Amino acid sequence: IGDCMRGRIYPLEGKVKLGGIKEYTEKFKNAHRIIIVACGTSWHAGLVGEYLIEEYARIPVEVEYASEFRYRNPIITENDIVIAISQSGETADTMAAIEMAKAKGATIFGICNVVGSSIPRLSDAGIYTHAGPEIGVASTKAFTAQVTALTLMAFYMAEKKGTIAQTKLIALLSELERIPSLVERALQSDGLIREISEKFKDSRNALFLGRGSGFPVALEGALKLKEISYIHAEGYPAAEMKHGPIALIDEQMPVIVIATKNSSYEKVISNIQEVKARKGVVIAIVTEGDTEVVRMADYSIEIPSADEAFLPLLATIPLQLLSYHIAVLRGCNVDQPRNLAKSVTV
Ligand code: F1P
């Protein structure tokens, strides 16, 4: 990713080259709008990208399901940049979406994992995430790699547009270097998460709540649980709960809440109170050292403290582990979930 950000060209089997963001700096700086198209987990990464790019670079972002976008008649201009995110680089809906956007004059930027796949070939420039092969069908490390790429892009664009103070940028970049060790620390909750999974392996439903960039993380947590354990799960913005899903909450309903110490902390606490008042069972993802949420929640899983920009990278880890352990305890094949294809090419 670092090389891509510096604009290094990646030769693809000697046939196609994918330039990095550097050559497209002016395009990004002057873009009227960024449209992110993707499917499934990659779409959730796109939503994280929306929060980060709008927050730091102040460029308007829309995130569209490629499978829907391709069949409507969206307004796209030459001043738009379409970012296509895909682990496999072969998803038919995402390919069709970018072909349509390209025909309308947009610049296409791919974020893909598989080197030499079709989407990079259709793109004007892009980033390879180099996460290594996804052994299982459900995306896991590809998601965190996509989020890392989008985080770096948001910082890069912010710097070029002058929408971030140099001191803040330097602080973020030095914290970014600590992320691998913070991820290691987050992984240490594995044993605890397995114990929690024992209690919920027979659940029929689950609700995932988050605010800000914790919301796409909640969506991804719910999708992982659905994909590999076949438990019905919904992800919601925590504040949206009172507009409907609250009706589902009872003592049978595990509610997984991203309740880390960031700008939404106080509001999330009141969401947890609403769940507890209806006898819901709360599994909270909290910042190390938290006591307030820990006191209210039935179960708490700690992640290390970091700037809010890195919340999606760290909060995703316990949710992936939770789905994994629940699926294994239910006897599901986590690598090859039923009905799910590694790349959906039709
Ligand atoms: C998109 C996706 C994956 C999902 C499954 C089906 O793939 O929805 O997120 O886990 O493999 O396809 P991609 O475009 O990111 O390769």
Residue 338 falls inside a structural domain:
no
What is the distance in A from the centroid of ligand 1 to the CA of 43? 9
Q: Which of 155, 176, 197 is the last residue of a domain?
A: 176
Q: Which of 111, 143, 176 is the last residue of a domain?
A: 176
* Residues 151, 248 within the same domain: no
Stretch 77-103: mean pLDDT: 96
* Residues 57, 191 within the same domain: no
Instruction: Write down the residue that tokens 């799960």 correspond to.
Output: 233
Question: For residue range 158-174, what is the model confidence (pLDDT) as tens digits?
Answer: 999 999 999 999 999 99
Q: Looking at residue 337, what is its pLDDT?
A: 82
* Residues 14, 133 within the same domain: yes
Provide the CATH number for the domain around residue 52.
3.40.50.10490
Residue 169 falls inside a structural domain:
yes
Residue 216 falls inside a structural domain:
yes
What is the distance in A from the centroid of ligand 1 to the CA of 246? 30
Kindly report the backbone phi and psi dihedral angles of residue 236, in degrees, each rounded to the nearest multiple of 5, phi listed first: -140, 150
Q: Looking at residue 131, what is its pLDDT?
A: 86
* Residues 170, 220 within the same domain: no
* Residues 80, 221 within the same domain: no
Q: Is 342 a catalytic residue?
A: yes
* Residues 233, 170 within the same domain: no
Q: Is 156 helix (H, G, I), strand (E, B) or coil?
A: helix
Domain that holds residue 117: 2-176
DSSP-assigned beta bridge partners for residue 11: 17
Residue 3 reports pLDDT greater than 50: no
For the Cβ of 66 lying below 6 angstroms from any atom of ligand 1, the answer is: no
Q: For residues 231 and 203, give the distance between their C-alpha atoms in angstroms, rounded to a whole number.
A: 7
For the Cβ of 337 lying below 6 angstroms from any atom of ligand 1, the answer is: no
* Residues 200, 171 within the same domain: no
Mean pLDDT (the chain) is 91
Q: Which of 135, 154, 176 is the last residue of a domain?
A: 176
Residue 303 falls inside a structural domain:
yes
* Residues 98, 140 within the same domain: yes
Residue 337 falls inside a structural domain:
no
Alpha carbon dihedral 305, 281, 337, 234, in 10-degree steps, equals -90
Helices (H), the chain: 2-5, 25-30, 40-52, 66-69, 92-103, 118-122, 141-161, 166-176, 179-187, 190-200, 214-229, 265-277, 292-296, 311-329
Residue 334 falls inside a structural domain:
no
Question: For residue range 177-234, what is the model confidence (pLDDT) as tens digits?
Answer: 899 999 999 999 999 999 999 999 999 999 999 999 999 999 999 999 999 999 999 9
Domain count, the chain: 2
Angle of helix 179-187 relative to helix 311-329, nearest 10 degrees? 30
* Residues 161, 306 within the same domain: no
Angle of helix 311-329 relative to helix 190-200, nearest 10 degrees? 50
Q: Give the residue from 64, 65, 227 showing the smallest Cα distance to 134.
A: 227
Residue 272 falls inside a structural domain:
yes
Q: Give the residue from 155, 153, 205 showing the smallest Cα distance to 175.
A: 155
What is the distance in A from the centroid of ligand 1 to the CA of 340? 9
Residue 67 falls inside a structural domain:
yes
* Residues 224, 96 within the same domain: no
User: Quick one: DSSP state of residue 57?
Assistant: I
Residue of 22, 104, 199, 342 marked active site: 342
For the Cβ of 148 lying below 6 angstroms from any atom of ligand 1, the answer is: no
Question: For residue range 9-43, what is the model confidence (pLDDT) as tens digits?
Answer: 444 333 344 456 777 888 888 899 999 999 999 99
Q: Give pTM, 2 decimals.
A: 0.93
